[in-house]
Amino acid sequence: MAEKAVLVALDRDKPDSSIERSMDELSLLALTAGAEVVDTMIQKRSAPDAAYYIGKGKAEELKAVVDYFDAELVIFNDELSPSQVRNLDRILGVKTIDRTALILDIFARRAISRDGKLQVELAQMQYLLPRLIGLGQQLSRLGGGIGTRGPGETQLEIDRRVIRKRISDLKKEIIQLRKHRLQHRKRRAKNRCTVVSLVGYTNAGKSTLLNALTGANLYTEDKLFATLDPSVRRGKVDHEREVLYTDTVGFIEELPRQLVTAFRATLEEIAAADILLHVVDISHPHWMKQISIVREHLSHIDPDFHQRELMVFNKIDLLEDESLAAYLKREFPGACFISALAKANLENLKESIIKRMDLEKHRLELKLPYSEGRLLAAIKAEGDIFRIDYREDYIEVDAEVSSSLAGRLEKYMAG
């Protein structure tokens, strides 16, 4: 049975903020976690109250709302300090969590692979450590539910020293994961395999697009963070060329810093990709803000990400405004307009990927058999030849060619 939740936020009257957008997203997060939102409370205030976030008087009003709806959970839209949680818990008498704890809870539920579970546990531990003091009363009555998955269920028995030791162990394991992923990336680079990484706001349709491009059967659902663990699948872009598609965790506004730190090993896959497909849900009312948020996250991972970014506007089948479509084509030249679910315009997307692949150049030293005259002709037509020597048994070629052609020449590389 869903827990009844009351959502709480501050409206700080900032010109660039949209409290309605933020609360809509918090409501979706709560739904994803399995809660039933019964009411929301928004307080106009320039800054949070140090002791009660919304002030003691407003906290007492919130208590009346909680009692009226028989709510079991209160979710705040900002990250709360340990003292704020303690004071609010004392007044409200029900479980009190913040946006960060809610997102961590969703990640704990979604993580399937060992990699994902390790990274989520590290993020939870780092969030929990400074909040141990004074949380005894709150933790003693949690008894499961939202905000208690993972290590949160056993914290009464775990002291700070044990948590620090666990954090240290998790970091060591994740370092090994990074090394493992680095070896995979080096192997892909050596094999001249083009890597196309799907990035975007959560629920933009990345996993649906990966399924459409590769014939995979990844789990998809119309909820935030429906898939968490990164996936890698092969897919053809034409009759002879393949690429590796990687599907990464979706971004969100104010992604908890603990998660960014913990998932660095996963996010490094984005930095190593040859092409970034920035998938945008064009049917979302705040699609432009979502583009801005994703690009801000990407800039922290790789400041030069825009050189590899290919905009992909998804869900065009839901777009009725023709003037918006014209605006998009004008403002985002070179962008692709698709419907991943309906598999519409995917060939156009593949053609755009091929064009990006052909822009990449690789310097190769080759020993071509005389029987491979077609490949030599392709090198002359598409690449730049620096040296060519006709030996007795083979043709020695030093040339710079595109990524796609480099893949076909791999087996003839000089040892």
Residue-by-residue DSSP string for 225-289:
TS--S-EEEEEESSSS-EEEEEE-PPB-TT--HHHHHHTHHHHHHHHH-SEEEEEEETTSTTHHH
Q: Quick one: pLDDT at residue 29?
A: 92
Do 7 and 30 form a contact (C-beta atoms < 8 A)? yes
The DSSP string of 43-94 is: EE-SS-BTTTBS-HHHHHHHHHHHHHHT-SEEEESSPPPHHHHHHHHHHH-S
- The average confidence (pLDDT) of the chain is 83
- 402 against 298, higher pLDDT: 298
Phi, psi of 340 (to 5 degrees): -65, -40
The residue ranges of every structural domain in the chain are 3-157, 193-358, 361-412
Half-sphere exposure for 257 (CA within 13 Å, toward CB)? 4
Placement of tokens 């975007």 in the chain: 200
For 247, other C-beta atoms within 10 Å of its C-beta total 27
Percentage of residues in the chain having pLDDT higher than 70 = 85
Q: What is the pLDDT of residue 122?
A: 87
Mean pLDDT of the 230-248 span: 84
Give CA–CA dist 185/149, Å, rounded. 33
Hey, what are 63's tokens? 């208590």
Q: Assign domain 3-157 to its CATH superfamily.
A: GTPase HflX, N-terminal domain (3.40.50.11060)
Q: How confident is the model at residue 300 (pLDDT cuts 50, 70, 90)?
A: confident
% of the chain exceeding 90 in pLDDT: 38
Residue 238 has phi, psi (to 5 degrees) of -150, -165
Q: Per residue in 95-118, pLDDT tens? A: 999 999 998 888 888 777 777 788
Mean pLDDT, residues 209-220: 79
Q: Outline where DSSP puts E strands in 294-378.
A: 309-314, 336-337, 361-368
131-152 average pLDDT score: 54
Q: How confident is the model at residue 218 (pLDDT cuts 50, 70, 90)?
A: low
- Could you tell me the CA-to-CA distances from 3 to 67, 85, 90, 151 in Å, in that order? 14, 19, 20, 20
Helix axes 264-272, 114-128, angle to 10 degrees: 120
Q: Which two tokens stand for residue 173?
A: 């394991």
Count of residues in the chain: 415
The pLDDT, as a whole number, for residue 151 is 54
Mean pLDDT across 67-87:
93
Domains 3-157 and 193-358 share a fold: yes
Decide if pLDDT at 174 tops 70. yes
What is the rounded distance in angstroms from the CA atom of residue 222 to the CA atom of residue 340?
A: 13
Name the CA dihedral angle for 364, 367, 371, 375, rounded to a multiple of 10 degrees. Answer: 0
Which fold does the domain 193-358 belong to in CATH?
Answer: Rossmann fold (3.40.50)
In the three-class reduction of DSSP (H, G, I as helix; E, B as strand; rest coil), residue 31 is classed as helix
* pLDDT at site 148: 60
Picking from 65-79, 92-106, 124-138, 370-384, which range would have the lowest pLDDT averaged per residue? 124-138
